[in-house]
Amino acid sequence: MSDAATAAASVPARRRVGAARATALCYRVLIRQIVSAGRIAALGALGAIMIIVGWVVGNSSNRGNSSSAGMIFDGASYADGFGLIVIVPIVSLVFAAASLGDARDDGTLVYLWLRPMGRAPLVAAAALASATVSLPLCVVPTMLGGWLATDFAAGSGRVAAGALAAAALGTVAYSCLFVLLGLLFRKAVLWGIAYILLWEGLAVGLGDFAERLSLRGYARSLLSQIADVDLGFTSYGVVTAVIVLVAVAAASLALATVRLSRLNVD
Amino acid sequence: MSPRPRPVPAPPAGKSAAGEGSSSEAPRVGNGAKAPELPAGMVEVHGVSKFFGDVVAVSDVTFAVRAGVTALLGPNGAGKSTLFRMMCGLTPPSRGSVRVLGADARQDRDVRGRIGLSPQQDALFDRLDALAFVQIAAETQGVTDPTDAARRTLELVELNPDDPRPVSGYSKGMRQRTKLAAALVHDPDVLILDEPLNGLDPVQRRRMIGMLTDLGAQGRCVLVSSHVLEEVAQLGSRILVIAQGRLVASGDYRELREMMDDRPRRVSIEADKSRTLAAALVESGTAVGVRVDGDAIVADTLDVDRLGREIAPLARRLESRLRSVLPLDEDLESVFRYLVERR
């Protein structure tokens, strides 16, 4: 090695790493780190179950209300009850909490942290990487499952569109929130599951105020408004729902950037 | 990496230009041996303490390190890695200040680009092959031709850049060298290597030491931690000894080694009439201190060889049956204990 040290070529030329380039580089690393065959198989299977059950529901002869409106309601309820309550938060949690949380826990974060780059690009890359993986795993089953559950009744396209919008925006918002969670807590998946079950699942049933503080309420408002279905809860307008979901995502990323700047890195 | 002049920040007016790591400086034992001055060097650690809850990981440490190789020596858990983490800005000091090239790496992104760190933990991006791993390091450091730089650096540490295996399939030694390549790829001014010789075989170890010595000779500040005294001996003459979170000695390795060789050695003796034998050892000057517990004697001696020669005739003369004579502190821990006790 000693001989090679003196024989090696000259000092490498360097340039400043801009925010866009830093984001792209970190994205490239993080997406490879969070995607594993096990995760994709398990969460893909969950999505497949939703699609299959949606098809079974759509073809069931024992429906309580077989009118078009009833079928639309069933499809939207199914997209909400399985897609928005289970698949979207769980899939987002698994990938987003892992994006920086796993790197922090296993000690690889140092290879991205100790670099002449800002912190915001690293956080943005983590959110982008987790959203890239989560979006197809959330949107496709939620949209297809909801659509199949309508048995292609008149207006089923609206259910599919509403499910798509709600799942997509919900996934982005949850991804950003859970990137922050991954930096706040070790074993963030457990904290995330507790949040999903206890807050998004139970506490929102306590009243309007609690529901205002849950992402699920805004995501299913999108579904409800676009599908034009009354799902029996406080529904916000499309604009309000979009603004709140985007604002939660932006605030989560800002807080995650601050948190990353102050983090003790192993 | 061709030799080139390396920038060494000029010492601010009124400050000492000689860091404790300077080979021209006489060795010092203990933080309090001399009133701490504000140090000047490529790495400056001044009055630094680090607490983790109630645990004191580093306590009031002051030193400066200039260009060349400096070894940070200390037993496991002494605070070496915590000091390195503070130098790199990975964790802030609870008290005091750490400056690398005149800036705080936690706040200053340009300085982060002039540091190369090989961390102690074995973690790598395990799904990448070595070339991709080092290439990412080069790209995130802003190297304009990352592939070429990564290939050259991997060859420098004697790894095959075309090895398609992911680094998860590498041996410990290969992973160490991958980490080192990632730390070196952007040609940093300050190289911080936490236990870099762990897992290397003797040949690799010798070559790695040669390479680090070359890098130091080229004007880089190379900081290497180790808990193995013999490794440090080969790395160069400048050492900082850390024990229990404190800087217990600093200076030239050879002089410190001689000082360590002069320390009292502890010997365990088991014999009948232990009190009589212990008194005779002190009276004859063979031991400078003794502790007796039943038949067991723990004797401190300045001359182990003399004690070995004289104890059997002495025991025979006192009609004491000698059962065992064992040296207690030939290990590195005893050296640290000695240095700590001298403070």
Residue ranges of domains in chain B, CATH in brackets: 28-260 (3.40.50.300), 264-328 (3.30.70)
> With a CB-CB cutoff of 8 Å, which residues 294-313 of chain B face chain A?
none
Query: Is B180 at the interface with chain A, CB within 8 A?
Result: no
Distance CA B21, CA B8 (A): 14
CB-CB neighbors (< 8 A) of A266 in chain B: 85, 90, 119, 121
Q: Residue range A133-162: average pLDDT?
A: 94
The low-confidence residues of chain B, meaning pLDDT below 70, are: 1-40, 257-263, 329-343
In-domain check, residue A10: no
Distance CA A93, CA A24 (A): 22
Among partner residues A1, A16, A33, which is closest to B127 by beta-carbon distance?
A33
R_g (Cα) of chain B, nearest Å? 24
3-state SS of chain B?
Answer: CCCCCCCCCCCCCCCCCCCCCCCCCCCEECHHHCCCCCCCCCEEEEEEEEEECCEEEEEEEEEEECCEEEEEECCCCCCHHHHHHHHCCCCCCCEEEEEECCECCCCCHHHHCCEEEECCCCCCCCCCEHHHHHHHHHHHCCECCHHHHHHHHHHHCCCCCCCCCEHHHCCHHHHHHHHHHHHHCCCCCEEEEECCCCCCCHHHHHHHHHHHHHHHHCCCEEEEEECCHHHHHHHCCEEEEEECCEEEEEEEHHHHHHHHHCCCEEEEEEECCHHHHHHHHHHCCCCCEEEEECCEEEEEECCHHHHHHHHHHHHHHCCCCEEEEEECCCCHHHHHHHHHHHC
In-domain check, residue A7: no
CA distances from B315 to B268, B305, B312 (A): 15, 16, 5
The predicted pLDDT at position B16 comes to 34
CB-CB neighbors (< 8 A) of B85 in chain A: 265-266
Distance from CA of A226 to the nearest CA of B (A): 42
Distance CA A247, CA B308 (A): 79
Among partner residues B117, B140, B144, which is closest to A13 by beta-carbon distance?
B144
Q: Residue range A106-127: average pLDDT?
A: 96
- Start-to-end CA span in chain A (Å): 29
Q: Residue A154 corresponds to which tokens in the numbers above?
A: 């008149």
pLDDT at A19 over 60: yes
CB-CB neighbors (< 8 A) of B124 in chain A: 108, 111
Residue B209's φ and ψ, nearest 5 degrees, are -60, -40
User: Which of B58, B115, B117, B136 to mutate against chain A (most A CBs within 10 Å)?
Assistant: B136
Is residue A239 a contact partner of residue A167, using CB atoms and an 8 Å limit? no
User: Which of B120, B135, B141 to mutate against chain A (most A CBs within 10 Å)?
Assistant: B141
pLDDT band, residue A49 (cuts 50/70/90): very high
Nearest to B228 by CA among B335, B136, B107: B335
The predicted pLDDT at position B28 comes to 53
A197: containing domain: 19-30+37-262
In-domain check, residue A144: yes
Distance CA A241, CA B166 (A): 44
CB contact under 8 A, A11 and B187: yes
CB contact under 8 A, A32 and B128: yes
A3-7, A185-189, A245-249, B96-100: the lowest-pLDDT one = A3-7
Q: Residue B329 corresponds to which tokens in the numbers above?
A: 């502190």
Distance CA A206, CA A198 (A): 11
pLDDT band, residue A65 (cuts 50/70/90): low
Is residue B129 a contact partner of residue B167, using CB atoms and an 8 Å limit? yes
> Which residues, listed in sequence order, are joined to residue B238 by a DSSP beta bridge?
B70, B252
Q: Residue range A230-251: average pLDDT?
A: 90
Among partner residues B105, B137, B157, which is closest to A1 by beta-carbon distance?
B157
Q: Residue A121 corresponds to which tokens in the numbers above?
A: 């690009």
pLDDT, tens digit (0-9, with 9 covering 90-100), for A79-116 = 999 999 999 999 999 999 999 999 999 999 999 999 99
Sign of torsion, CA A177 A180 A182 A185? negative
pLDDT at A8 over 60: no
CA distances from B166 to A34, A107, B25, B148 (A): 16, 18, 46, 19
The predicted pLDDT at position B171 comes to 92
Distance CA B67, CA A168 (A): 54
Sign of torsion, CA B33 B34 B38 B41? negative
Structure pTM? 0.80
Residue B251's φ and ψ, nearest 5 degrees, are 135, -150
Among partner residues A2, A13, A15, which is closest to B211 by beta-carbon distance?
A2
CB-CB neighbors (< 8 A) of B195 in chain A: none
Provide CB contacts within 8 A for B162, sequence distance 6+. B131
CB contact under 8 A, B157 and A10: no
In-domain check, residue A99: yes
3-state SS of chain A?
Answer: CHHHHHHCCCCCCECCCCHHHHHHHHHHHHHHHHCCHHHHHHHHHHHHHHHHHHHHHHHCCCCCCCCHHHHHHHHHHHHHHHHHHHHHHHHHHHHHHHHHHHHHHHCCCHHHHCCCCCCHHHHHHHHHHHHHHHHHHHHHHHHHHHHHHCCCCCCHHHHHHHHHHHHHHHHHHHHHHHHHHHHHCCCHHHHHHHHHHHHHHHHHHHCHHHHHCCHHHHHHHHHHHHHCCCCCCCCCCHHHHHHHHHHHHHHHHHHHHHHHHHCCCC
Is residue B184 a contact partner of residue B176, using CB atoms and an 8 Å limit? no
Query: Is B85 at the interface with chain A, CB within 8 A?
Result: yes
Distance CA B285, CA B303 (A): 10
In-domain check, residue A6: no
Distance CA A115, CA B155 (A): 23
Torsion of CA A121, A126, A128, A131, to 10 degrees: -160
Mean of per-residue pLDDT scores for chain A: 90
pLDDT band, residue A230 (cuts 50/70/90): confident
Distance CA A78, CA A86 (A): 11
Provide CB contacts within 8 A for A61, sequence distance 6+. none
Query: Is B217 at the interface with chain A, CB within 8 A?
Result: no
CA A97 from centre of chain: 10
Higher pLDDT, A211 or A50: A50
CB contact under 8 A, B143 and A264: no
> Which residues, listed in sequence order, are joined to residue B58 by a DSSP beta bridge?
B50
Nearest to B236 by CA among B253, B218, B261: B253
CB-CB neighbors (< 8 A) of A11 in chain B: 1-2, 4, 187
Nearest to B73 by CA among B231, B298, B289: B231
Residue of B nearest to A8 (CA): B1
- Start-to-end CA span in chain B (Å): 42
Q: Tell me which amino acid residue B18 is.
A: A
pLDDT band, residue A213 (cuts 50/70/90): confident
Tell me the count of A-B CB pairs closer than 8 A. 127
CB contact under 8 A, B211 and A8: no
- Nearest 5°: the CA angle A24, A129, A40 is 140
Query: Is B117 at the interface with chain A, CB within 8 A?
Result: yes
Number of domains comprising chain A: 1
The predicted pLDDT at position A154 comes to 83
Q: Residue A105 corresponds to which tokens in the numbers above?
A: 């826990």
CB-CB neighbors (< 8 A) of A14 in chain B: 113, 141-144, 186
The predicted pLDDT at position B160 comes to 96
